[in-house]
Amino acid sequence: MKSFLTFIFLLSINVFSQDKNKIIEDENSEPMLIGYCTREIFNDSAFASWFNPEYENYEPDSAAIKMLKENIDDIDITIVMGSWCSDSQLYVPEVYKILDGINYPSDDIILIAVDEDKKTESAEQEGLEIEFVPTIIFYKDSSELGRIVELPNESIEEDMLEIVTGKD
C-alpha cells in the first residue's frame, strides 16, 4: 500500500509539473511558450535572450514605485503574454522589474502564454477577453480593477499605480 501511495504521489507531481512552462515550436520552428508559466521559464536561453536585457536596462520611476508599494496590498495580477510578441518581450520584463522593486511575490502572479491567435492548448485564457498582448490584469477581491493592454498610456508603473489607486 505504501508503494502504491508513493507511486500516486510521484505521478501527481509529474502530471502537475507538466502543466507549466510548456514550450512548443511555432510555424517557424522557433520556441514559443504556451499555457501557464512561472517566472523561472525566463531563465531558459530561448527567452532569457530578450527578458534579461530588458529587465536589467529598465529604470522604473522611483516615486511611482514608492506609491505603488503603498497601494499594492491585496491586489492579484494576471499577465497574458506572447513569447513571440515584441510588446510582450519589452513590457513583461518591465512588469517583473517593477514588481521586484515593491517586493511583490512572483509566485502570486498568474502568467499565461498564448499563441499568435491568443489561445492556449487548454484554454487558460478563456473568459479573459484577450485581444492584444501583453494584457496585464489587476484584481482586488476577485473583481477586475483594470488592465494594461499591449502598451502603457504613460509608463507601466504609472499605469499600474492609476489602476490600483482607482485614479484615472
**Does residue 12 sit within a domain?**
no
Q: Determine the average pLDDT of the residues in 117-129.
A: 93
Three-state SS across 36-85? EECHHHHHCHHHHHHHHHHHHHCCCCHHHHHHHHHHCCCEEEEEEECCCC
Name the domain count of the chain.
1
Q: Give the C-alpha separation, 19 to 155, whole Å.
A: 32
Instruction: Give pLDDT, residue 100.
Output: 97
Domain CATH for 103:
3.40.30.10
List the single range of 18-32, 59-73, 119-133 with lowest mean pLDDT. Answer: 18-32
> What is the share, in percent, of the chain residues with pLDDT greater than 70?
89
pLDDT tens string 146-162:
999 999 999 999 999 99
Task: Please give the model's pTM, rounded to 2 decimal places.
Answer: 0.86
Around Cβ 139, how many Cβ atoms within 10 Å? 16
pLDDT tens string 53-103:
999 999 999 999 999 999 998 999 999 999 999 999 999 999 999 999 999
- Residue 77's domain comprises 22-165
Quickly state the pLDDT bin for 13 (edges 50, 70, 90): very low
**Does residue 108 sit within a domain?**
yes
Instruction: Give pLDDT, residue 26.
Output: 85
Instruction: Give pLDDT, residue 168.
Output: 61
